[in-house]
């Protein structure tokens, strides 16, 4: 079995693959204060609950945008599973041609998402990652990643609006039926949800106009389901796109 891990600013998502099949995903909170031992206990508890033995794992690959936590998850994986993790970064073969000013600055989670998108779809494409930030990864007709506009994520925007404001707290992400809110709760939900929908649709229009081509559009991330369903464009939600990208990168490097 292969363990994949996507370490984000808010959560850590684990994937468990048997051959090419993703049989389970597990999510825990990302906390910089946790030690490697604490992460190890959580990981061990999660696989035990599933009835999986540590010896069943033959490999692990990690994508991370939180370097401090990366080393602790590495140590936890070594201690609990007894395998050496592969970290997505410089020197790792991804098969993705990254045509930006400094390819090393592209988040490894975005690299994984683009690798998976390229493997199963025809370019050009737009891969939307909806996490702490909302990112539109643009893949041109040749399958090269050529850039990505970045905006604050939905949760970040809502937190910025409601932080330290008692009357504006406790707002959900459900879209109200009307864009014209008639009370505080509906007004905020209309602005956050419908505003994000308009931003996503508008950015797709601008990207397609700039590259001069109609794009296949994929979306991934925790809030993609709640937002994408309201968009006018045909957007396919792939919630495990990063997990699939990690598997593909692991196999490429294992063969190498």
Identify whether 19 is part of a domain. Answer: yes
Please pick, among 109, 140, 185, 201, the residue that the annotation labels catalytic.
109
Any idea what the CATH number is for the domain that residue 27 is in? 3.30.420.40
The boundaries of the domain holding residue 195 are 103-245
Residues 73, 109 within the same domain: no
Residues 230, 153 within the same domain: yes
Residues 56, 163 within the same domain: no
Asked if 75 is an active-site residue, the reply is: no
Residues 121, 74 within the same domain: no
Is the backbone peptide bond immediately before 160 cis, with ω within 30 degrees of 0? Answer: no
Identify whether 124 is part of a domain. Answer: yes
Taking alpha carbons only, the member of 35, 17, 34 closest to residue 26 is 17
131-187 confidence digits (pLDDT tens) = 889 999 999 999 999 999 999 988 888 777 777 565 555 566 777 788 898 888 888
pLDDT of residue 160: 78
Identify whether 250 is part of a domain. Answer: no
pLDDT of residue 163: 72
- Residue 4 contacts residue 81 (beta carbons within 8 Å): no
Mean pLDDT of the chain: 91
Domain boundary (87, 116, 143) is at 87
Residues 150, 207 within the same domain: yes
Other C-beta atoms closer than 10 Å to the C-beta of 104 total: 8
| Rg, the chain, Cα only | 19
Identify whether 252 is part of a domain. Answer: no
Residues 131, 203 within the same domain: yes
156-165 confidence digits (pLDDT tens) = 887 777 775 6
């Amino acid at each position: 079995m292969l363990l994949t891990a996507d370490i984000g600013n808010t959560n850590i998502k684990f994937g468990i693959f048997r051959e090419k099949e993703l049989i389970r995903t597990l999510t825990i909170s990302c906390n910089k204060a946790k030690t490697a031992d604490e992460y190890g206990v959580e990981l061990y508890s999660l696989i035990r609950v599933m009835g999986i033995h540590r010896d069943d794992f033959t490999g692990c690959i990690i994508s991370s945008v939180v370097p401090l936590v990366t080393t602790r998850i590495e140590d936890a994986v070594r201690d609990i599973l007894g395998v050496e993790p592969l970290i997505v970064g410089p020197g790792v073969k991804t098969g993705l041609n990254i045509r930006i000013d400094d390819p090393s600055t592209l988040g490894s989670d975005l690299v994984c998402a683009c690798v998976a998108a390229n493997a199963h779809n025809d370019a050009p494409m737009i891969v939307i990652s909806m996490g702490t930030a909302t990112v539109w990864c643009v893949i041109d007709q040749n399958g090269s990643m050529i850039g990505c506009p970045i905006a604050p994520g939905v949760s970040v925007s809502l937190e910025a609006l409601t932080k330290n404001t008692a009357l504006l707290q406790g707002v959900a992400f459900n879209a109200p039926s009307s864009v014209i809110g008639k009370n505080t709760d509906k007004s905020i939900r209309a602005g956050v949800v419908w505003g994000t929908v308009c931003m996503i649709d508008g950015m797709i229009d601008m990207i397609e106009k700039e590259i001069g081509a109609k794009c296949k559009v994929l979306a991934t991330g925790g809030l993609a389901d709640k937002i994408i369903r309201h968009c006018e464009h045909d957007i396919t939600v792939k919630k495990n796109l990063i997990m699939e990208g990690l598997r593909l990168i692991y196999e490429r490097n294992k063969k190498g």
